Amino acid sequence: MVSIQSRCTVFPSETTPYEKLFSLCEQMKLRTHAPLLYVYKPHPYHHASNFVDTLRHSLGQALTIYYPLAGRLIWIQGGRWELHCNAKGAQLLEANCKDVNLDDLGDFVPTHLVSQLIPNIDYDVPIEDTPLLVAQLTRFPCGGVTIGVALCRGAIDGTATMRFMRLWAKLARRENLEHVEMVPCNDRSILNSYMAHSGLHDHSEFHTPSPWLGSLGKDTKAVVAIVKLTDEQVKKLKHKGNHVNINSTSPGPSSTPYSTFEVISGYLWRCVSKARYAGKRDQPTRLSTLVNCRHRMRPPLPVNYAGNTAFPTVTPTCSFGEIIHRPLSYAVGNVRVALEKVTGEFVRSALDHISREKDMNLIRYNFHYPAPSVHKGPYKGNPNLFVVSWMNFSFKDADFGWGEPLYFGPGYMDSEGKAFLMNEANGDGLIVAISLEASHMDGFKKVFYEDIDQESLISKL
């Protein structure tokens, strides 16, 4: 239903430095692109037909400042890569969606149609020919538009992406860049300098995830759903998650109340485990996530560091029985264990671990795909969960002169057992986008909403 009308390469509007950037952190990332979708309702004073010119001109200006995004990844020895700042440019696509209006897309669940709003990246071409940034403007009959952005995970993390989008939008509005904070720190060697030779951590986040025990269900096709939590529901869950039964054998109690991310992640882990349960009480399971380490290093990294500082971490491996039958605080406490271990010393040790790893695919795939060996063959079942927080992303700053986005979220989800947590655009509560096996999704949604209002979240299974 979405047809591409034009495609152009956008180069930096001014001469940029030619550099070769290498970061140990970026070696554990995938060469794939993170899919960001921004949705804008019709604007009374602007016409979508002229919008692409505004985006093209301002993107050239933005790439002059964030010039690594106009470069390319290049393979080097040991299955690693460098980022060559060679000004080969980003791509900008112009598309139409003639048969569907924005209202027809509902909650913008990342289904087949919504995924067409994100640029399609061809990974069969050599890595040095793959743009790091591709954006797509799609126009709708109602006058609304979407901007789909695909940014290479091996070049930039979510925090830096939000800063880039804010700068690009500011340039599109023809506003002056008055603040020093808008200027990125493109020096990737800063993070490498923290590496320390340390054997104090085993870095289980890079170990093979727990496998699925037994046979698979009838329908293993992955489907995506969006579920929502109001502020009141979030408060209920935080109250229950922070209530620790002294007989629960939870990792707590803690003197510091559990955060919203800790509680909701633990709750999702519990609901997903219930949906997958089928009597598999001893099934091992773990939850993985990413931690922004800019402020965890000593000294802290520059706040405007424009590379990757999102380090992986995993909970201790538990069982379905433990996650389901113990109080919610048990799952939540294990999420906190995963987050709290990511100290500056942990990151220094992780950098050392990455530098010594001979097979980079073990680093890249064991963490990013919750189901073991999913990249090597057919799907073999998945008992694990990967939760990514976009809750603190300042997506409303992405006003390109078209107003604040009506919606912001992932344009597609390519991995079963992955969830994104996002703030509701109207400020009331959270949105969860989650991908699960089709045979598990209805059960997940049922327990997700029912368990919030129960007096006790302890399952009677």
User: What digits encode the pLDDT tens for the residues 262-287?
Assistant: 999 999 999 999 999 988 899 999 99
User: What percent of the chain lies above the pLDDT cut of 90?
Assistant: 70
For the chain, what is the domain count? Answer: 2
260 in the same domain as 366: yes
Answer yes or no: is pLDDT of 24 > 70. yes
Q: What is the mean pLDDT of the chain?
A: 89
Q: What is the pLDDT of residue 370?
A: 62
Kindly state whether residues 186 and 222 are assigned to the same domain.
no
- pLDDT tens by residue, 204-222: 888 888 888 877 767 788 9
In a domain, 405, yes or no: no
Handedness of CA 151, 152, 153, 154 (dihedral sign): negative
Of 113-127, 272-286, 369-383, 438-452, where does mean pLDDT reach its minimum? 369-383
**228 and 368: one domain?**
yes
Look at residue 403 and tell me if it is in a domain.
Answer: no
Q: Are residues 229 and 188 in the same domain?
A: no
HSE, side-chain direction, 13 A CA sphere, residue 270: 31
Higher pLDDT, 248 or 446: 446
- 404 occurs within a structural domain: no
Phi/psi at 19 (5° precision): -140, 160
446 assigned to some structural domain: yes
d(CA 85, CA 72): 7
Q: Which domain holds residue 310?
A: 204-392+413-453
From 160, 192, 224, give the residue that closes a domain.
192
- Considering the domain boundaries, does residue 322 fall inside one? yes
Domain-embedded: residue 57:
yes
* pTM greater than 0.75 (yes/no): yes
pLDDT at 43 (0 to 100) = 83
- What pLDDT is attached to residue 374? 45
Domain edge (last residue) among 162, 192, 222: 192
- Does 326 share its domain with 183? no
Does residue 251 sit in the same domain as residue 374? Answer: yes
pLDDT band at 247 (very low <50, low <70, confident <90, very high): very low
Mean pLDDT value of segment 66-74: 97
Do residues 157 and 257 both lie within one domain? no
Together in a domain, 305 and 422: yes
- Looking at residue 67, its pLDDT comes to 97
Q: In the predicted model, is pLDDT for residue 107 greater than 70?
A: yes
Kindly state whether residue 407 falls inside one of the protein's structural domains.
no
Are residue 175 and residue 213 in the same domain, yes or no?
Answer: no
Output the six-digit token pair for 38: 């921004």
Tell me, yes or no, whether 254 and 122 share the same domain.
Answer: no
Average pLDDT on 381-389 reads 94
CATH number for the domain harbouring residue 45: 3.30.559.10
**What pLDDT, on a 0 to 100 scale, did the predictor assign at position 460?**
40
Percentage of the chain beyond pLDDT 70 is: 91
Which of 155, 171, 192 is the C-terminal boundary of a domain? 192
Mean pLDDT of 90-108: 93
Q: CB of 215 within 8 A of CB of 283?
A: no
On the question of a cis peptide bond just before residue 251, with omega within 30 degrees of 0, the verdict is no
Mean per-residue pLDDT for 134-142?
Answer: 95
Asked if 141 and 262 sit in the same domain, the reply is no
Nearest alpha carbon to residue 284 among 384, 362, 208, 202:
384
Average pLDDT of span 349-376: 78
For residue 419, what pLDDT is reported? 96
Both 69 and 176 in one domain: the answer is yes
Instruction: Give the residue ranges of DSSP H helices in 216-359.
Output: 231-241, 260-276, 320-325, 328-340, 344-356
Question: Does residue 66 belong to any structural domain of this protein?
Answer: yes
